[in-house]
Structure 1
Amino acid sequence: MTTIVREMKLEDIDEASLFIRDHFYGHEPLMQTPGEHPLIYDDPQKRKYRLSLIQQGTSLVAVDQSKGGRIVGVAFAGIMHPSDLELNWSEVNERKPKLLIEHIHYFLCNIKKHAQFFEHYDVTDALYLKTLAVDSTMRRQGLARRLVVTLMELGRTRGIPLMVATCTGAYSTRLMASLGMECVHSELYADFKDEDGNVVIQPPAPHTEASVMAIKLQEMPSYNPGLYKTFF
């Protein structure tokens, strides 16, 4: 096996950002809503946020050693508290969304708010998986699963009580469920409409809803290092 999973470093930021542009935004179900949708994949604000996640030591990259250590998968994740959730909601709620990406941000913040996972699990912090992406030429090889399993183990060993992810497509929801995550809350895209009653987010089939998935990390069985060749 030539692909390993390791902690993302600050020096990975440029390659990881380009990787998200090429292998996440163009494949994200919500961004496949019909029409032309301008998107800035990287700017000072996005870069600052991604760097803050890397500095927490909770983000991962999969690299292909046979190709000079090229990044072939990323998992941006960070510690979230109830106050972070409220801040995110207040920021998107204070302005009227116009572009598709603004509607998406509003929708995702809203569904996280309604999930109430902090209250549901009675915790005050959680490891939130923000972005999961795999090289489009290496999908269906278990790489996304390796990234998520490694992230779960990282959170468990650091004493974080809960891991949460918002799944926007049928495939990511299926993956998280197969790893023991449960659906805390879900909402249909068809129910999210603008002021004129038009459905805003229209991903292709079979992606019909977004689901907030969660798992109590401290109740997980210990990680089996023999399953994957993974380094921190």
Structure 2
Amino acid sequence: MRKPPSGLGCCGKVLHALSFNEILRHRCKICLSQIDKERIKFEVIMSDVSPGRLYYYALRSEARSRVQTALNARILREPGSLARFDRLTLSSILSPQMPSSLEFASTEWPKHYGETTFMGFSKSWADIVMPAYQDPEIFDLAIWQEVEGVQTLAALALGSPSHARTHLTVKWVERYYGRTYVQGRVLMIVLACAEEYAKLLGSERVLIKDPLAPHKYERYGYRSYRHPYVPHGGNYLAKEL
């Protein structure tokens, strides 16, 4: 897996002249002249490049960077894992530095839908993602892997914090059923990114809403959870941080 350049998050250059720590220190003092709007236009709604939105962008970028660093360390410890995690990129769903994840999900993923795999959600990923981007605090993730020279979208995930950020809830997760090397490990990466983002937010736990295969999440420490603010507790799994 290619390591991002020093000082940058996953998927290339994100912020102009401001490091992650500077964003944290000066989150209320960022002026527009410091922001490279073109490189973050996928993260904003209309022309909104407010300090708050940039702050949460920086947290998500840092979370992805931490996970990618951990995967790089794993490759060093376990050389045999190189083939699985090689040429992997973790990015925002609407990153302009990668191919269109929404187009890939709508055209390529359905080719592998079936009774033994997955039949897709009731809504398209475009319909899921675009309204969610109104919330600057969202958790979003696209996992790309270069397969035989072609960038392939391995998974998408989307969620949001709630109840004064005590919870980060992952609401949508889908993986590609076509060929990737990382197949079978995408959920691990999704959960790792969600957990790192939740820690940066100061959340107490990560929740999975309406999990389709609970046993897969249980492998990573998630357990049944009765949500105190949802009628009848809802259908959730949770991992305490």
TM score, norm. by length of structure 2: 0.47
TM score, norm. by length of structure 1: 0.48
Query: Higher relative contact order at CA 8 Å, sep ≥6: structure 1 or structure 2?
Result: 1
